[in-house]
A and B are shown apart, each in its own frame.
Chain A
Amino acid sequence: MNLKRKDLLGIQDLSVEEINLILQTADSFKEVSGREIKKVPTLRGKTVVNLFFEPSTRTRTSFELAAKRLSADVINFTTSTSSVVKGETLLDTASNIQAMRADFIVLRHPAAGAPNILARALQASVINAGDGGHEHPTQALLDLFTLREKKREFRGLRIAIVGDISHSRVARSTIYALNKLGAQIRVAGPPTMIPRDIERLGVSVFYTLDDALQGVDVIMMLRLQLERQGIALFPSIREYATCYGLTPERLHLADRDVIVMHPGPINRGVEISPEVADSPSSVILDQVTNGVVVRMAVLYLLSGAK
């Protein structure tokens, strides 16, 4: 079995069958990750290049581990300023990397659609590791994998996504994924952080967190980008934490068996209180563990497609 595609650019164009295939494949890699020797020879001789134009420790490390556990060679090419400063275009940078015979390019980039440019131009498989405010497909897949472990059934699941939906690629990928799988999605945040026409993507919108949390099975808190305070989106961190922070009291509004997710890194005491982050409801570290196996599955399934 493999994915009949060269690249993974987003959840939007994945079918339910493809999503399920990735999750099932990740199951078998989860078993590998529990072994003493956490390594299989599947991608021996293949080269994975992590091309990161934004700082990211978690996602890059997760991809690196995933590739290494599949016995691929991994190169990390990280630059926050990007070669744009030197005048080189993204496509030129990537073409150079392909000329060194990379099989996979894992791209993190601040501009939406950047992976699409590479995917069209290169033979290498391109995996989107987050592009601007667009998509972060492997994050959504690892969230699905974690949900599946904890809740079994996606259909009818009530989930609230809370925070800056406008600028969140995690929110978009999660919305696309859970819509396909039949969950009921609520988004919540101040109106300045809810993008126009979002209801047309099949979600309901809440401006009051307490209303959004009533009876939900899953709460996904988004990281607050602190630099957006002031005139931009919210008056102060203090006010944001008061109105939109997830506290133990608010957790009681949700279903008794609610789980709390966060794509990390968390701002303790801002969008999530330390008590909630460390509570039994929190699956934040499970998400991190599952990130590696889901990314192993993606690398494996794309390698078969070529």
Chain B
Amino acid sequence: MSHVADRSRRRPREGQILIRGGRVIDPGHVDGVADILVTDGKITEIGRDLKTPPGIKVLDASSKLVVPGFVDLHVHLREPGFEYKETIKTGTAAAAAGGFTSICCMPNTNPVNDTRAVTEFVLDRAKTAESVHVFPIGAITKRSEGKELAEYGDLRAAGCVAISDDGRPVMNGMVMRRALEYARAFDLPVVDHCECMHLSEGGVAHEGLIATKLGLQGMPSAAEDVIVARDIELAELTGGRLHVAHVSTAGSVQMVRAAKARGIRVTAEACPHHFTLTEEAIDEFNTNAKMNPPLRTSRDVQAIKAGLKDGTIDAIATDHAPHAAHEKQREFEYAPFGIVGLETALGLSLLLVEEGVLTLEQMLRALTSGPAEVFGLGKGTLRAGADADITIVDPEAPWVVEPDRFHSKGRNTPFAGWKLKGRVVKTLVAGRAVYP
């Protein structure tokens, strides 16, 4: 009897995987060489030299990093309505290739995701894509027109994890107040693209030396700062959860830092391009460096790095914004804002580690548990019992950014030709390989 029992215990079970010998980093919990046992899509054990049945499926991760799958709070999947730019299938494939296992998609589709029906459509398409987890973000106002609140209760019940009128910031302070207040009932964070549309009217680039040289209409830093200031005051007034999207100015970083110190419920994200590039990147009218908020000055870049370092900024988010090639091959002033980011985020974030701005653990936290906590996703961790959303990274692998090899439909990146170090070699979602 005991002989039989022993044999059955040591027989590998269907649905078991051992990730062996990698450097496992679960920010705040684990950092060391270990094995991870995955059973039926969940992490069941982490430890050194785990005893496992012979014949179990093994992923050799020696000399690799084994980390929680990345979480992106800010992605434009473009479907429904703009499938020529990206679909949920191509967007999730790009996410998987970039090491992301959970992505939150913005509601500025056509129709806008302001109802349960659109949310359910997005989730249904995401399920069919069989790739990474997709968490929809609903609209703050109907059709994102900035006037009437959308149905947050129904959106939350349908699966939305936050609300935002991204790209069309809520200009009316009263509407924003009511949104922050009403969203409290459903514990939804309100994500604001902070931009005073009056101050940035007609602007296509940061208001500074480069815009002046090129004769382009500028968007001053103050256009962002005044809305960040307004929103922080409203968050304090209402007790609502404010999340500041794509922080781009030194002023925003400082205000978020001060607000956190005052105990206001505010969180913030920063994009890799905003801590990597300055306004100089648009010289020669490079439309692939045109985004909103715009690339700013080295002083702003330094402030964002400092904000990531001291935790003022909770998350690295990509603001992945694919556009068709012909849309970017336009006059600078007429080209749409936005760049793709899912497939370059890791390589650019690792530059912060190489520069000594962040420790590897801090950087990984900003891509995993940091963002997961902002929206309360229950993701971004390797603890036993969690979904086996795991990314395996070769931290030393050099590679060149070649947009033609992106999984995204978008090729619009200012990083084409950049030599980066650190590549995703495998992405698992609930124990299943979604990349390669």
Contact = CB atoms under 8 A, between A and B. Distances in A.
Interface of A: 12, 84, 89-91, 109, 111-114, 116-117, 131-135, 167, 169, 172, 195-198, 200-201
B3 interface: no
Given A197-B208, A197-B209, A132 B215 contact: yes
Nearest to B215: A133
Contacts of B211: 195-196
B209 A200 contact: yes
Contacts of B152: none
A201 B212 contact: yes
B84 interface: no
A113 B212 CA distance: 13
25 contacts: A89-B329, A91-B329, A111-B331, A112-B214, A112-B216, A112-B285, A112-B331, A113-B214, A114-B331, A116-B284, A117-B330, A132-B216, A132-B333, A133-B216, A135-B215, A167-B215, A169-B215, A172-B215, A195-B211, A195-B212, A195-B218, A197-B208, A197-B209, A197-B212, A201-B213
Contact of B331 (A90, A135, A169, A200): A90
Closest 5 CB pairs of A and B: A133-B215, A113-B285, A111-B331, A134-B215, A197-B209
Contact of A111 (B209, B220, B333): B333
B208 A196 contact: yes
Interface in B116-174: none
B334 interface: yes
Given A134-B215, A201-B212, 10 more contacts: A111-B331, A113-B285, A113-B333, A131-B215, A172-B213, A196-B209, A196-B211, A196-B212, A197-B209, A200-B209
A172 B213 CA distance: 7
B118 to A, nearest CB: 29
Nearest to A117: B331
A90 B330 contact: yes
Interface residues of B, number: 21
A91 B330 CA distance: 8
Contacts of B215: 112, 131-135, 167, 169, 172
B298 to A, nearest CB: 13
A198 B211 CA distance: 10
Contacts of A113: 214, 285, 331-333
B327 to A, nearest CB: 10
Contacts of B262: none
B231 interface: no
B328 to A, nearest CB: 11
Contacts of B331: 90, 109, 111-114, 117
Contacts of A133: 215-217
B207 interface: yes
Most buried by A among B211, B215, B216: B215
A117 B329 contact: yes
B224 to A, nearest CB: 15
Contacts of B212: 195-198, 201
Given A89-B326, A91-B329, A117-B329, A111 B214 contact: no
Interface string B215-258: 11110100000000000000000000000000000000000000
Nearest to B329: A91
Contacts of A116: 284-285
A283 B35 CA distance: 83
Contacts of B218: 195-196
